[in-house]
């Protein structure tokens, strides 16, 4: 510990070890492959930002003033229109849309922003994107892994995170399941935060929003839908997302975030507005990922992997029926890096997560090495 940092109140001590540090050695091994590393561990986009979005960003680069925390009316209107056009979500009040500096930031801060604290329960998926747990721990609350409502028993959670389509599993929750979550949350006085980062990347069947009229009967009370532009519009580097839903909850988040200076830069607001107004670049990106998924899936299955769930999202949830770190090593021998299932909680010891986010050339190379 460095001098001068008080031991009391070290916030990082509340948090798990940063998981990516644990695959440094296997990454080094994979990178030593003569054909170079095929990194399928992180879901970071590799295709360029569409020129129409770049132009929108640049068009306001000279504007000197502070942006508003609530976002421009144009941005909020574009979000409302995109939710309706792309996902059939109706009845969203433009005032109940709030831009965020990437959705990871919102998820990590949400329990705290909602005043959730000690003794409160935050329900997270059994196999989950790690930031839900982090958000609960940062607020001093208790994370509780549960996919089914019976696993919550008689407890009254303050917040329930759902994530459909899921990272890492690609599992999609049907309308009926989400309806039960909404009814349960309303009965117990919980907020539902639905992370819909991958709603625009569905390969089989249908995925629906928590704000879909078939799920909530048009009543957004207690519901928040979290949308990221990182994956569908390749804007991970811009940090662009928004939350929409219950007008009262969004107004409360806005109030706290205004005081905290949590505002999205104006050029990013302009870029987001353009991205939300255009479906063509999003559709093109989806088709790139679909082709990569088809190639990888076939190669993995031919190499003896079983793919579970994975009907949507940017990952293949794969297993060889052995400890995930053994599979990770097997892949590294072929110069391929994946993410081990144990990154996503204790209930996925035998899976690895294989991202579709590599160039066509790297995906073809991975497929060749698997055969
Ligand atoms: C399920 C899920 N939610 C949220 C995020 C965060 O995305 P961003 O902060 O780029 O909006 C990710 C990123 O990988 C994710 O997988």
Q: Is the CB of 236 under 6 A from ligand 1?
A: yes
What residues form DSSP beta bridges with 124?
A: 145
CA distance 91 to 247: 11
Three-state secondary-structure class, residue 214: helix
DSSP 291-321: HHHHHHHHHHHHTT-EEES-SBSSEEEEE-S
Q: What is the pLDDT of residue 19?
A: 85
Is the whole model's pTM more than 0.95, yes or no? yes
Q: Taken in order 96, 100, 102, 108, is the CA torsion positive or negative?
A: negative
CA distance 219 to 186: 11
Q: Is the CB of 228 under 6 A from ligand 1?
A: yes
Q: Is the CB of 104 under 6 A from ligand 1?
A: yes
Q: Where are the domains of the chain?
A: 16-43+281-370, 52-277
Q: Which of 53, 43, 24 is nearest to 238 (CA)?
A: 53
Residues in Cβ contact with 199 at an 8 Å cutoff, skipping those fewer than 6 apart? 87, 165, 207, 209, 227
Q: Does domain 52-277 fall into CATH 3.40.640.10? A: yes
Q: Which fold has domain 16-43+281-370?
A: 3.90.1150
Pairing of strands 223-228, 191-195: parallel
Q: What is the DSSP letter of 122?
A: E
Q: What is the pLDDT of residue 6?
A: 60
Low-confidence ranges of the chain (pLDDT < 50): 1
CA distance 121 to 111: 10
Task: Look at ligand 1, atom 2, and give the residue with the nearest C-alpha.
Answer: 197
Compute, in angstroms, the gap from residue 355 CA to the centroid of ligand 1.
13
Q: What is the pLDDT of residue 314?
A: 98
Compute, in angstroms, the gap from residue 295 CA to the centroid of ligand 1.
24
Q: Is the CB of 203 under 6 A from ligand 1?
A: no
pLDDT digits (tens, 9 = 90+) for 140-179: 999 999 999 999 999 999 999 999 999 999 999 999 999 9
Residue with tokens 């306001």: 60
């Amino acid at each position: 510990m460095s001098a001068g940092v008080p031991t009391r109140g070290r916030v990082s001590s509340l948090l798990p070890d940063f998981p990516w540090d644990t695959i440094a050695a296997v990454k080094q091994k994979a990178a030593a492959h003569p054909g170079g590393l095929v990194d399928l561990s992180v879901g970071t986009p590799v295709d360029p930002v569409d020129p129409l979005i770049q132009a929108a960003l640049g068009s306001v680069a000279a504007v000197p003033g502070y942006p508003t925390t609530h976002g421009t009316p144009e941005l909020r209107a574009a979000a409302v229109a995109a939710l309706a056009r792309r996902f059939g979500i109706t009845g969203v009040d433009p005032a109940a849309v709030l831009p965020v500096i990437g959705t990871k930031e919102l998820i990590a801060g949400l329990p705290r922003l909602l005043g959730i604290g000690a003794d409160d329960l935050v329900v997270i998926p059994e196999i989950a994107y790690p930031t839900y747990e982090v958000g609960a721990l940062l607020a001093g609350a208790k994370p509780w892994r549960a996919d089914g409502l019976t696993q919550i028993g008689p407890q009254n959670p303050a917040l329930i995170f759902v994530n459909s389509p899921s990272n890492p599993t690609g599992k999609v929750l049907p309308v009926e399941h989400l309806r039960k979550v909404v009814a349960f949350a309303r009965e117990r006085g919980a907020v539902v935060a639905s992370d819909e980062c991958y709603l625009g990347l569905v390969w089989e069947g249908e995925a629906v929003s928590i704000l879909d009229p078939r799920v909530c009967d048009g009543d957004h009370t207690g519901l928040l839908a979290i949308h990221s532009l990182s994956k569908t519009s390749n804007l991970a580097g811009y940090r662009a997302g928004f939350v929409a839903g219950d007008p009262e909850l969004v107004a409360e988040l806005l109030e706290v975030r205004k005081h905290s200076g949590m505002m999205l830069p104006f050029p990013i607001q302009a870029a987001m507005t353009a991205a939300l107004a255009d479906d063509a670049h999003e559709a093109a990106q989806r088709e790139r990922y679909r082709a990569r998924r088809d190639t990888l899936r076939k190669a993995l299955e031919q190499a003896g992997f079983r793919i579970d769930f994975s009907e949507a999202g940017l990952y293949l949830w794969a297993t060889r029926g052995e400890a995930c770190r053994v599979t990770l090593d097997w892949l590294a021998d072929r110069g391929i890096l994946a993410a081990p299932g144990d990154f996503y909680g204790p209930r996925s010891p035998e899976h690895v997560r294989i991202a579709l986010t590599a160039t066509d050339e790297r995906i073809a190379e991975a497929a060749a090495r698997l055969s």
